[in-house]
Structures are given as C-alpha cells and as structure tokens.
Structure 1
Amino acid sequence: MTLPEFKGEQFEKGLKVRKEVLGDVHVSASLAAADDLTAPLQKLVTEWCWGEVWTRPGLDRKTRSFLNLAMLTALNRPHEIKLHVRGALNNGVTEEEIVEVILQAAIYCGVPAALDSMRVVAEMIRQVRSEKAAESG
C-alpha cells in the first residue's frame, strides 16, 4: 500500500481548522507518524471531519467542542477526550464549562464513563495550565 498524498483543497481546508483547534504540534506529529496503514485514515479525518463538518456554518467551534466532549464521554473514549479538551480550551470553552459537560454526561451516559473522562480532563487542564505558566514565566 502506498501513502495517499496529503494535499488538495479539502485537505488544506481541514488541516487549517484541525491545527487551529488541536494545535500544530499534535497535528503535525500525527501526520508525520502516518504510514501506509494509518495515512488513509489521517487523510479522511482531515478532509471530512475537519474540512467538511467542522467548517459548516450551522454551529460555532465552541458548541462543537461541547458536543464532542459529551459524545466522547458517552463513547468512553479517553484518548480522544484528551485531544478535545485542548481543542475546547482553544475554542473558548472554560475549565468550568468542561467540568459541567462531564457532570451532565455522567447523568445521561453513566458514571464510569464520566469518571474516565474527568481523569483525562483534569490531566489535560493541568498540562495546559503548566504550559501557559511556562510561556508567561
């Protein structure tokens, strides 16, 4: 299998949004690590998730972040929660609002899923706080 080319209008549109939300470091590392097995999924996610859905005008990025945190909690996907906590903060969601999303999800999705999400949320908020302190200090 050969690597798909990471180019094209839809890919570039998605790459821009993906980097703005998740951060250039994470996205660049994900793409650099892509191989013949994982590259097709990276291309698909960048073009369709980020380039098609995240750029639609019907919801702002903050609302999309709220929804992602709730849905990822419902699906019990801590790895993806980790990525989307940073994205939510970049999209203007406050730490308090993130905690409220997880509490709301606990009632409707289950406490075990919410506990996993809250552990990841706390870890990521502490990491982002530390990074910001290092940048300003």
Structure 2
Amino acid sequence: MNDAYEAGMAVRREMWGAELAEKAVANASDFAKPFQDIMTRYCFGETWTRTDLARRDRSIATLSMLMAQGRELEVKMHVKGGIANGLTVAEIRELVLHTMIYCGVPASFTALRACEEALAEIEQSKQA
C-alpha cells in the first residue's frame, strides 16, 4: 500500500470508526474494489488530509454540496463523519435550513430526512 492509501484509511477510521472503514474495503466486490481504492487514496488520502482547510470545514463544505445535490445516502454518512469532525447538531440543522433557501425545499427535505436518520443512529449507538 502507498502513503496516500494509508493516510486515507486513517481518515476513514477517524470519521466512521475502524470497524466501518475496514468493512467497507474488505467487503467490496471485485467490481467495487478499484472504486474503494481510488476513493481511499484520492478522496480521503489526498484531499481530506490537506492542511489549508480544517477537517471540520471540509465536513461543512461536503455536507453542503451533498445536500444541494440531494444525495441522501452520502448526506447520512457525512453527518456521522461531520459529528466526528466536531460539527454540532445545531450546525448541521443550520446547513439544512441554509439548503432550503439556496437549493429549494425538496433538496432540504431530503437532507433533513437523511440527517435525522443519521443522528438517530448515532444516538442509538451511544445507548448500545
């Protein structure tokens, strides 16, 4: 493995926990393995490790872009990563409200559902 891959796995572990990060890579089908490799190296290893933008700020930017695109599954994942990167529930709610104004009600409603599901899962995991 190269340095970018290892750095990417470290970011994934910090944002989603070691179990989920390792599971995503280990359970990838032969078809999906190249995708997981590129995502780990370039998305997380090359981009999320850059120092000119804090990881917390990257979470805000990422959530904003995903909410604008109506990417429910990815919003849900990045809410969890955002919490790990220091975002508060109130800040995530503000992103959803901001999305309503700049991207429209349908996009914000999709984001709202995804955020509520992710936050409920986080709360449920705390109680387990």
TM-score tier, shorter chain, comes to: over 0.9
Percentage identity across aligned positions?
39
Q: Mean alpha-carbon deviation: is it higher for 14-23 or for 93-102?
A: 14-23
Which of the numbers 48, 65, 70 marks the counterpart of 1:76? 70
In 1, Cα distance between equivalents of 2:16 and 2:69:
20
The structure that has the greater radius of gyration is 1
Which of the numbers 34, 44, 53 marks the counterpart of 1:59? 53
Q: State the match for 1:120 in structure 2.
A: 114
Correspondences of 1:19-30 after superposition (within 5 Å): 19-30=13-24
Does the CA contact (< 8 Å) of 1:62 and 1:88 recur in 2? Answer: yes
Q: State the match for 2:8 in structure 1.
A: 14
In 1, Cα distance between equivalents of 2:53 and 2:100:
24
* Structural RMSD (CA): 1.0
Deviations 1:57-91 (A, max 9, x none): 11111111111111001111101011101101001
In 2, Cα distance between equivalents of 1:109 and 1:102:
10
* Secondary structure in 2 matching 1:59: coil
Give TM-score, length-normalised by structure 2: 0.95
Q: State the match for 2:36 in structure 1.
A: 42
Q: State the match for 1:85 in structure 2.
A: 79
Amino acid at match of 1:101: L
Does the CA contact (< 8 Å) of 1:69 and 1:102 recur in 2? Answer: no
Give TM-score, length-normalised by structure 1: 0.89
Runs ≥4 residues deviating over 3 A: none
Deviations 1:6-45 (A, max 9, x none): x221100111011101222221121112122101010000
In 2, Cα distance between equivalents of 1:85 and 1:56:
20
In structure 2, runs of 5+ residues without a counterpart are: none
* Secondary structure in 1 matching 2:112: helix
In structure 1, runs of 5+ residues without a counterpart are: 1-6
In 1, Cα distance between equivalents of 2:69 and 2:39:
18
In 2, Cα distance between equivalents of 1:86 and 1:109:
22
In 2, Cα distance between equivalents of 1:33 and 1:68:
25
